[in-house]
Amino acid sequence: MPPQTDRQPPAREGDVINASVVDEDHEGITVKGARQLATGLPMAQEILLAAVQPLKPGDERASFTAMVPLNAKGVKLMSRRSYEQMASSKFDYPLSSRFDENDTVIYCDEVKIPWERVFVHNDVKMARAQWFDIPVMAYQNYPAQIRLGVKLRFLLGLAYRMAEENGLLHLPPVMEVLGQMAAEVNVVQGMIVAMETNGEQYGKYFIPNSSLQYSAMVYAQSLHPVFIARMRELAGGSMLSMPSSVADLTSPATAEYMERVHGTAKRSAVDRVKLFNLGWDAIGTEFASRHAQYEIFYSGPAFGNRIRNYSGYDWESAVSLVDGFLASCGNPDSE
């Protein structure tokens, strides 16, 4: 996608914000400008630069698709701050220290791309068709829903463990909240099964049902913030009363007091702190906030997915039920 600053005039006359073709010759095209947001890009060797956003006539310069090596002259990577680098230890930050995926903006400072690496050029219709006229998006969205299903099941188990550790599982309101969350996890899993069993053959490939995929994406974007909010309610203040670091648990000056304060008859202070450190890293740290933002926007703005869901739904199957019933009601002169 183009950077969101592309919606504003360039800071300097002649600047190109959205990566676009600024020159071409017999060797290839020259690209200038930026695109966002490539997750894990610093670990890659090449990037597929393409236009997923809707384009219109007049946007031909941005309607290219090409493979670009990251060591090509003029390629600049601008990554956000690494949460992994800032994590003091695996004990204190069990997720941030191991599973951070750096998000990156790529800037092309007049990058020359040979023709053999260019797949689409100067063609707005083809730039769109490569994503939506063939089942490319289906193969992207399907594993994303599987990922989300596993993630929510993990978070549900974490919510259960924190409630158990706080002695809350016997309370009906807590049972109700966990039951609601379990139902939501099963809905996501059910959508995955449904898109698999209602898919169709595409040549020699089997394609998960696209309409159900878009419905799952719409549901997921609204579900995740509510799911996290329920986890916060169940955890209460436990995640905020943790020691400052693992050093408090190992220092001779403080270890005994940590055990008195955080240890229980069933769990040592180390094990209890480890659990709630995981809870905080899952829903409270910068790492967690990035994931919360990611789940809302990774597949585009919610209104766009709702519109795609509208376009992909089989409305005939729904309205035919209404029309059939209306036909059975008869007319005034047939009463």
Here the tokens at position 87 are 């994590």
Q: What percent of the chain has pLDDT over 70?
A: 98
Give the C-alpha separation, 58 to 81, whole Å.
36
Q: What is the pLDDT of residue 308?
A: 81
Distance of CA 236 to the CA centre of its chain: 26
Helix (H, G, I), strand (E, B) or coil at 22: strand
- pLDDT band for 335, please (50, 70, 90 cuts): low
- pLDDT band for 148, please (50, 70, 90 cuts): very high
Q: Could you tell me the pTM of the whole model?
A: 0.88
Indicate the average pLDDT of the chain: 92
- pLDDT band for 198, please (50, 70, 90 cuts): very high
**DSSP β-ladder status, 46-49 and 28-39:** unpaired
Domain count, the chain: 2
Residue 35 has pLDDT above 80, yes or no: yes
Q: What is the pLDDT of residue 334?
A: 67
Residues 200 and 305 in one domain: yes
State whether the Cα torsion 123-124-128-129 is positive or negative.
negative
Check if the beta carbon of residue 114 is closer than 8 Å to that of residue 299.
no
Domain boundary among 67, 102, 130: 130
Mean pLDDT for the stretch of residues 174-189 = 97
Residue 199 has pLDDT above 90, yes or no: yes
DSSP state, 243?
Answer: -
Residues 142 and 126 in one domain: no
Judge whether 279 lies within some domain: no
Judge whether 180 lies within some domain: yes
Q: What is the pLDDT of residue 297?
A: 82
Contacts of 45 (CB under 8 A, 6+ apart): 69, 70
State whether the Cα torsion 24-27-30-35 is positive or negative.
positive
- pLDDT band for 4, please (50, 70, 90 cuts): confident
Q: What is the CATH number of the domain that holds 147?
A: 1.20.140.10
Mean pLDDT for the stretch of residues 106-135 = 94
Measuring CA to CA, how many Å separate 66 from each of 41, 74, 76, 132, 157? 16, 15, 16, 18, 42
Judge whether 254 lies within some domain: no
Query: Domain containing 97: what range?
Result: 4-130
Give the C-alpha separation, 67 to 47, whole Å.
6
Q: Can you give the three-state secondary structure of 166-215, one letter per residue?
A: CCCCCCHHHHHHHHHHHHHHHHHHHHHHHHHHCCEEECCEEECCHHHHHH
Residue 31 has pLDDT above 80, yes or no: yes
Residue 22 has pLDDT above 80, yes or no: yes
**DSSP β-ladder status, 200-202 and 20-24:** unpaired
Q: What is the pLDDT of residue 250?
A: 92
Mean pLDDT for the stretch of residues 269-281 = 95
Residues 174 and 302 in one domain: yes
Q: What percent of the chain has pLDDT over 90?
A: 73
Of the candidates 18, 52, 13, the one whose C-alpha atom is nearest the C-alpha of residue 34 is 18
Helix (H, G, I), strand (E, B) or coil at 134: coil
Residue 13 has pLDDT above 70, yes or no: no
**Each residue's pLDDT tens digit, 303-324:** 888 888 888 888 999 999 999 9
Q: What is the pLDDT of residue 307?
A: 86
Residues 190 and 306 in one domain: yes
**Each residue's pLDDT tens digit, 71-93:** 999 999 999 999 999 999 999 99
Contacts of 177 (CB under 8 A, 6+ apart): 230, 233, 234
Residues 156 and 207 in one domain: yes
Mean pLDDT for the stretch of residues 20-39 = 95
In this structure, the dihedral spanned by the alpha carbons of residues 188, 194, 200 and 204, taken in order and rounded to 10 degrees, is 60
Check if the beta carbon of residue 219 is closer than 8 Å to that of residue 296.
no
Helix (H, G, I), strand (E, B) or coil at 50: coil
Q: What is the CATH number of the domain that holds 118?
A: 2.40.110.10
Q: What is the pLDDT of residue 126?
A: 95
Judge whether 111 lies within some domain: yes
Residues 108 and 8 in one domain: yes
